[in-house]
Chain A
Amino acid sequence: MATKKPRIGVFKFASCDGCQLSLLDCEDELLAIADAVEIGYFLEATRKPLTGEFDIALVEGSISTPEQIEQIHDIRNRSRMLVTIGACATAGGIQALRNFADVREFLSAVYASPEYIDTLKTSTPIADHVRVDFELRGCPVSKHHLVELISATLAGRRPNIPRHSVCIDCKRLGLTCLPVAYGIPCLGPITQSGCGVICPSYHRGCYGCFGPAHRTNVQGLVRAYQSAGVPEETLDLLLHTFNAWAPGFRESTRSVPEELLSRSTGPGGSGER
C-alpha cells in the first residue's frame, strides 16, 4: 500500500466559489476524504499557506488578469495532475461574455476610475494557458463527479464521467419531452449529462450548465427550434450564458468578432486531453 497520502490542492481564479463549495457540500464524504488525502491547499477551508507539490490540483475559475496567468503556470509546475472544476475553469464562465464585447466599455460602465483595474480583455479557460489532465463540467460541478474523480484517482483508475447528452438521461427517466409536448426550448439534446436532468424534472428547459456534449449538432438543433417558431434572439441568449465561450456554443452566436473565433482552441467536447 502507499506509504504517503496523496496531496490535494484546491485553487481559485475568477469564479463564484460554488464549485469548491460543492466539495464542502460532500457532507457524508468530507471527513473520509480528509482522512484519505492530505489537503495541502484549500483557502476556503484552511489557513495552510501555499507550499510544495500536489498530486492533484483542483482548479476553479477562469483566467482574467495578467497575474492569474503567472499563477496558473506556477500551479501547473507544482502539480502531477491538474483538473479543472466547473464552467469557469473549463470554458471561461459567464464572465467570458466580455470576450464578445469591448472590455474598456465594460470597465467604465462599472467603475468610476477604470485605470485602477488590472484586467485582461478576455476570460479564458485554464486549458488555453496550461496543460489540463481532466476536466469536470458544470455550473456548478456535480459533487458526485467530484467524489468519483477523487476516488478513481486514489484507486489509480480513470474517472467514470459520461459524455453523452442530458437528453439521453431524460429519456431514461421517462420524463415528458418539453420541446415536443409544450414547445419549450430545451438544450438537453446538445448539453452534456451530469446535472441529474434537474431542469426538465422541474418543467423547465435545460439551459446548458454542463456545456456542449460530445459530438453534438448545435446548429441542427438551432435550425429545428427556429423552424418551430422559437425566435433567434431567444436561442442566442440561451446559448450564451455560463458556457458561452465553449467551442460548440460560441460559434453559434451572431455577435462574435471573427478574430476572436480563430484565436483560441479551448477544451473540446471530450473530457480528457
Chain B
Amino acid sequence: MAKRKSGKAKTIQVRALARVEGEGAFTIVLQDDRVADVKLEIYEPPRFYEAFMRGRQATEAPDITARICGICPVAYQMSAVRAIEKAYGIQVPEPIRSLRRLLYCGEWIESHVLHMYLLHAPDFFGYESAIAMAQASAELKAHVERGLRMKKIGNAIVEVVGGRAVHPINVRVGGFYRAPTKDELQALVDDLRWGRDAAIETARWVASLDFPDFTDDYEFACIRSDHHYAILEGDVVTNRGLRISEDEFLQYFREEQVPYSHALHSRRVLPESPGADDRFAGCYQVGPLARWNLNRDVAPDLVRQVEQDLPVSFPTTNPFHSIVARALEVLLAYHEAIRIIEDYEQPDPSWVPFEPRAGHGCAITEAPRGMLYHEYHTDDAGYLTKVTIIPPTSQNQLRIEKDLYMIAPRLIDLPQDQACWQAEFAIRNYDPCISCATHFLKLKIERLPTSAH
C-alpha cells in the first residue's frame, strides 16, 4: 500500500450494487478532499459466450445470446438475427420487420418500466425499494401498481409475439417460427390503449421529480433513421456530427484495455491522441437519453406534444433526466405497438428460407440500455468461426465513471450511507445491466494514491 504523505484519505465503497441487474461494485478514493480516483468494478463472472459459440450453428445465436441478459433477451435476438441475415444475404420483408419492431416495443416497455418504477423511482423518494415505497403511502402504492400493470402489458406483447416474456422462443433467422394471427394481436389493443394513457401520466409524474443539478459536455450516441425513431436499424450518429454506417462501427468505437483500471472500456476513437492524463477521453453515453436527445425530431407527434408540456426541456445534458427520456420512450413504444397491430397483416410464410454460407455480418439494434453490437463470421456449413458482442453497459462504463468522478466532490462530507446512496443513484441513470457486460474484468487491486502535493 502506498504511503500517504499528508491529509485525510477516505474510501467510499459499495460492495454489492443494488437494484441493477447483475453484480457490480464501485469505489471512490478521495485524498486531501480531492477526488483521486473512481472505479466501477464488475464482479459478474465471465461466462465466455464469444468463446463457446465458436463451432455452434449461426442459427443458434438468437437463442444462445438471449441468455446473456434475462432483462433484454429480445435485443440480443434482434441484433443476432440481423447480423446473421446480413452474413447470409437474406432480405427480410417489411411485415416481418414490423413484427420484430412490435416485439422490441414490448421489451422496451417491460425493461424501461421495471427500471423507472421498481429500480430508479425509489431513489428519488428515498426508499430502499419499490416494495418499501408501495408500503409507505396509498399515493405511492398507486404509482407502483400502475407501473406493475404497465410492465405486465409489455410482457404480454413479448409473450404473444415471442412465446414467453424471458428468453422468447419464436424468433429465428429469417423471421418467426409462427407469426401471430391478427386476432391474437388485436386482443392486446384495449390494454395497450390503457398503457398509452398510463405512459402519459408516467411522463408527467417523473418529469415532476426533484432532479439533482448535474451537467457535462456529453457525447451521446445511438442509431438513427430520418423516417422513424430507430430501434432495429439505422446509421450510427452522435451529437458531435458523426454519422456512419453500422459496418464502420469498429473503426470509430473501440473496446480497449486500460492498464490503470484493468477493465475493458469502449471509447470513441479520437482523431488525435488525447493527453495521457485524460483517462475519460472518448467516453460516450448510449441509451434512452442519447436516443431521445438525438431522435426526438422523428418521434410520433403524440409523444412530441407530451414532451413539449413537460417541465423538463430537451435536449438535456442532465443524466438524471434519463428517467424522463425512458418514460417518453415507453409512451412511444405503446403508441407504435398500437399502430403496428392496427396495420398488421399476418406474414405468410412467417420466415424467409435460406442456405448457410461462408461470410460475415454485423448489426446494431437499440437495446433498452443502448446500442448492442453483434458480429458473426460463418463457414460454408453455417458454423460460427468468430463472434464479437459489445453490449451497451460496456459502452457506458467509462461515461459512468466520469459522472462518478464529477459527482464525488459533493459526497465527501456526507455520512457514508448517504454518500453510497447518492453515487448509486447516479449510476442507476444508466440502468446498468451488468449481466450483459460479458467483457468486464474483475478488479482486485486497490491502490491508495499518494498526495499530489
Contact = CB atoms under 8 A, between A and B. Distances in A.
B114 interface: yes
Question: Which of B70, B178, B262, B435 has the most C-beta atoms of chain A within 10 angstroms of its own C-beta?
Answer: B70
A216 to B, nearest CB: 21
Interface string B115-144: 000110000000011111011000001001
B182 interface: no
B306 to A, nearest CB: 24
Chain B interface size range: 35 or more
A213 B257 CA distance: 44
15 contacts: A15-B70, A21-B70, A34-B131, A50-B16, A64-B47, A94-B52, A103-B48, A110-B51, A110-B438, A113-B262, A139-B67, A140-B164, A198-B164, A202-B163, A202-B169
A259 interface: no
A150 interface: no
A47 B424 contact: yes
A173 interface: no
The CB with the most chain B CB atoms within 10 A, among A18, A93, A97, A139, is that of A18
Given A18-B167, A47-B129, A204-B177, A106 B442 contact: no
A258 interface: no
B118 A64 contact: no
Interface of A: 12-19, 21-22, 24-25, 27-28, 30-31, 34-35, 39, 42-50, 64-65, 67-68, 93-95, 97-98, 101, 103, 105-107, 109-113, 116-119, 123, 139-140, 195-196, 198-199, 201-204, 207, 209, 237, 241-242
A194 B170 CA distance: 17
A29 to B, nearest CB: 10
B163 A95 contact: no
Contact of B421 (A44, A47, A101): A47
Contacts of A139: 67, 167
Interface in B42-76: 43-48, 50-52, 54, 56-57, 60, 63-64, 67-71, 73
B151 interface: yes
Interface of B: 16-23, 43-48, 50-52, 54, 56-57, 60, 63-64, 67-71, 73, 114, 118-119, 128-132, 134-135, 141, 144-145, 148-149, 151-152, 155, 163-167, 169-170, 172, 176-178, 257, 262, 264, 421, 424, 433, 435, 438-439, 441-442, 444
A21 B21 contact: yes
By CB atoms of chain A within 10 A, which of B163, B166, B177 has the most?
B166
Contacts of A28: 148, 152
Contacts of A103: 48
B129 A48 contact: yes
Given A43-B16, A46-B129, A198 B435 contact: no
Given A17-B435, A203-B177, A237 B57 contact: yes
Contact of B128 (A19, A47, A111, A119): A47
